[in-house]
Structure 1
Amino acid sequence: MKLSRPKAALAAFTLIAAGAAAWRFTPDFRAHAETQAPPAALTVSVIEPQYRQWPDTIETNGSTAAWQEAVIGAETGSLRITEVLADVGSEVKRGQLLARLADATATADLRKQEAAVAQARANLEQAEADLKRSRQAADSGALSAQKLDEYRITATVDRAALASAQADLENKRIALSQTRIVAVDDGIVSSRSALLGNVVSTGTELFRLIRQGRIEWQAEVDAQQLARIHAQQSARVTLPNGKVLDGKVRLVSPTLSTSTGRALVYVALNGHGAQPGMFASGDIELGDAKVLTLPESALVPRDGRTDVYVLNRDGATVERRTVVAGRHRDGRCEIVSGLTTDMRVVASGGGFLSDGSRVKVVEQQAPASLASANGAAQGGGQ
């Protein structure tokens, strides 16, 4: 019996469909289908954000300055500088000779006054001897009481003259010592205006010292921040060259500037490296607070924002999320907003990913192991 043309066509289509369905489930077809699945862009490990106890800090800026400066000037005038023994940057000790003034005149005046003292002492000895003899003569009735009083007054005047001469001698010694310009404290010479051969007048500044070499950071804060800052709080200051110094709040200004509305906080710095006049940023630590953190390697700075890549529920693709990053400390970064603790974040390599990228997730391991895995994955895909 012959089939009609439409029925024959239907039967042929049915046979072809059945054959194609059977071929789909053969091993060769399945292997072909697997090779067509999108490959993973990167082999990654994922982590969860963690809460850490971090110091609660106030971030601010300011400049460095000398803790105290000492001005060293000439205490005597009209003398020429004959020797300069210190320069800018010299570390000096209290009493160390920095410069010398001409001392010939002062030395001559001292010797002259020493002679005047010797003469006054001799006059007093003569007057006391005369007084002694007059008292003996007065006892025998050979000398009047008036004459005895004259000898007594003369001895008193000569004694006063000797005391005055000795005082003048001390002044001459002081004047001679003032020709030696010495350091008034331990410190570092920050400026020198003393010039060899220059004739200085009384009060002329010759040197300026940073007392004990101590530098402090003068941080500017507003009224709200000022209320939270107290003496002895710790601080960390970052210098323009990247060096970080520790310090402690030494003094908090009791007033705010009427022009800027800000106050100064004086932070004593530990260690070396800071110089007066540097503009530095830093943190003043107020206490401890619990903050959400991620390793810095998980952050992807891009176009002025900070991104992280979060593993989706399917476990095979990632989603880009923009977060607000806060402080950095010990290789981790504070996440102010944008994440929760139950999210799984790509630990590193986010710069090679994009929103919706497929990844292969492995247990967290060393970076070298991850690199080997990524190399193998990329080699297999070629």
Structure 2
Amino acid sequence: MRTFPSLRTISATGALLLVTPAMAQVVPGGPPAVGVVKAESRPMTESTEINGRIQARERVDLIARVTAFMNERLFTEGAEVKKGQLLYRLERAPFEADVEVKEAAVAQARAQLENADLTLKRAQELLDKNSGTQVAVDSALASQRVAAAQVKAAEAQLHQSRINLGYTEIKSPIDGIIGRTSVTVGNVVGPTSGALATVVSADPMYVTFPVSVRRVIELRERYADKGGFDAVKIRLRLPTGELYGQIGKLDFVDIGVAQDTDTMTLRGTIPNPVIQKVGDSNLYELSDAEFVTVSLEAVEPLKVLAVPRAALLSDQQGDYLYVVNDKNVAEQRRVKLGQSTPDIAAVTEGLKPGEQVVVEGIQRVRPNLVVAPGPASQTTPRAR
């Protein structure tokens, strides 16, 4: 890199002072010294921050499907449960008795069917021997069909009674974490009692967030040749401000647009491993319905034309910066900015690679002013 010669001056006490190019005072009638950097393409991880919420992938409210007294609660609130695990047991005796009644009804219907079968057989035999009539056969056939239908009806009622008996045992339909119970043992519960408890899956979790339609289209077009939304990764910032250590993947874009906000709901899946075990319970970093900040980032950094943010100025017309041409004249350039970081800004329009951009001494520059450019220092303060 070319070094810019230091400027020396003598203080009132005779001491020799050393001044950097960007700090040098302008000699009356001379061009102001400025520090410049070359506009270059550099990798930048594009990110967009949006408010979102964590959502369990599976969520089940446990509701009693028959009316009965609750006899037992067989789980610890807040503990993990497995699919098929027995959680509540309701009073079974009335339902067992009902099953026995229906079993008896089925046995009775089957006996009547057997009798009807025999009657039909005898009537047919008599008709074959010319000792009976067709009317008797038809009557016996009708009775046999009625008896067969009564058997099916009795069997259906028995099946329903057995289903109701099975409902007295409430089991978990999924693997997950169960919340607190809303009804204690000894109370009557039923379909109108509401949720007895809720089970939610823990790992992985969903994160849902609204994104403007314009931004969704931009993302789709930008990553179309890079795998579409597979080229986007999801990072989370927790309510404490801490960055979550796991990386998620975008897996769903809603088919409709919210008319009041002109946004679409996007959803990602992110791991949620156990961070601590306490007794029978496991603690996870993410919880269902938790509020988080979602950051959408490109899987691979994008190449952008970037300049230090210290080079940027703005007014009512927008953003601009100063470029020093080959005649050392400062030109004002209106620019359009893309994704930026606290220190670097991406310029999408108004600047070409290799052009010299003023970053130091910018307060002394005016459009079409001749300046004395030199390399900027490595650490450039941000513009205010």
Give the TM-score, by structure 2 length: 0.59
Cα 1:263/1:147, change in 2 over 3 Å: closer
Aligned to 2:225: none
Deviation at 1:109, TM superposition (A): 0.6
Aligned equivalents of 2:265, 2:131: Cα separation in 1: 85
Residue pair 1:59, 1:282 contacting (<8 A) in 2 also: yes
Alignment of 1:250-265 (within 5 A): 250-265=251-266
Residue pair 1:58, 1:225 contacting (<8 A) in 2 also: no
Deviation at 1:285, TM superposition (A): 1.7
Aligned equivalents of 2:253, 2:115: Cα separation in 1: 68
Residue pair 1:222, 1:262 contacting (<8 A) in 2 also: yes
SS at match of 2:268: strand
Aligned to 2:271: 270
Deviation at 1:142, TM superposition (A): 3.3
Aligned equivalents of 2:148, 2:378: Cα separation in 1: 97
Aligned to 2:170: 181
- The answer to which of 152-161 and 62-71 deviates more is 62-71
Aligned to 2:237: 238
Aligned equivalents of 2:122, 2:216: Cα separation in 1: 82
Residue pair 1:229, 1:252 contacting (<8 A) in 2 also: no
Residue pair 1:83, 1:101 contacting (<8 A) in 2 also: yes
Residue pair 1:236, 1:282 contacting (<8 A) in 2 also: yes
Q: Counting helix residues as a fraction of each chain, which structure ranks higher?
A: 1
Aligned to 2:121: 132
Aligned equivalents of 1:293, 1:70: Cα separation in 2: 52
**Residue identity in the other structure for 2:140:** Y
Deviation per residue, 1:260-304 (Å, 9 max, x gap): 45443322212332112333223202453236699xxxxxxxxxx
**Residue identity in the other structure for 2:272:** G
Count of aligned residue pairs for this structure pair: 269
Cα 1:227/1:119, change in 2 over 3 Å: same
Aligned to 1:345: 378
Aligned equivalents of 1:278, 1:339: Cα separation in 2: 43
Aligned equivalents of 1:71, 1:62: Cα separation in 2: 23
Residue pair 2:202, 2:272 contacting (<8 A) in 1 also: no
Residue pair 2:50, 2:211 contacting (<8 A) in 1 also: yes
The structure with the largest alpha-carbon Rg is 1
Aligned to 1:148: 137
Cα 1:192/1:227, change in 2 over 3 Å: farther
Deviation per residue, 1:242-262 (Å, 9 max, x gap): 233211122234555444454
Aligned to 1:69: 59
Cα 1:138/1:224, change in 2 over 3 Å: closer
**Residue identity in the other structure for 1:156:** R
Q: 1:280 aligns with which of 292, 304, 318?
A: 292
Residue pair 1:250, 1:268 contacting (<8 A) in 2 also: yes
Alignment of 1:193-342 (within 5 A): 193-203=182-192, 204-211=194-201, 213-230=203-220, 231-232=229-230, 233-241=232-240, 242=242, 243-272=244-273, 273-286=285-298, 288-290=301-303, 327=341, 334-336=343-345
Aligned to 1:110: 99
SS at match of 1:136: helix
**Residue identity in the other structure for 2:288:** P
Unaligned ranges ≥5, structure 2 = 1-14, 18-36, 221-228, 274-284, 309-338, 347-357, 361-373
Q: Identity, % of aligned pairs?
A: 26
Deviation per residue, 1:357-382 (Å, 9 max, x gap): xxxxxxxxxxxxxxxxxxxxxxxxxx
Deviation at 1:149, TM superposition (A): 3.0
Aligned to 1:157: 146
Cα 1:221/1:155, change in 2 over 3 Å: closer
Residue pair 1:255, 1:263 contacting (<8 A) in 2 also: yes
